[in-house]
Amino acid sequence: MHIGEKRLGTSEVMWMLLKKKHISFVSAQVLIREIMVCNLDLQKIKEDINDIEKRFKNIIDVLGKIKNTPTFIKFFLFF
């Protein structure tokens, strides 16, 4: 959570929520735990995207090399 330019920690967010009596301590813990799980899922997605980008780059590099090969080899590769 951000307030202005300050980034709040987990305990600060819980304290703010409890102080204003918006949610109970247990509910705050559950929400924060869920945020942490989502954050891990997001990190995994980012890693997967990086892996896919590397695969695309490799494919593009291979296709670039094929472009520079003689025409008769291209014929056998694509038909």
The residues spanned by each domain of the chain are 10-78
pTM value > 0.85: no
Contact 13, 2 (CB under 8 A): no
Q: Length of the chain in residues, anyone?
A: 79
Tens-place pLDDT, residues 18-70: 676 666 777 778 888 888 999 999 999 999 999 999 998 888 888 777 766 55
Phi, psi for residue 8 in degrees, rounded to 5: -90, 145
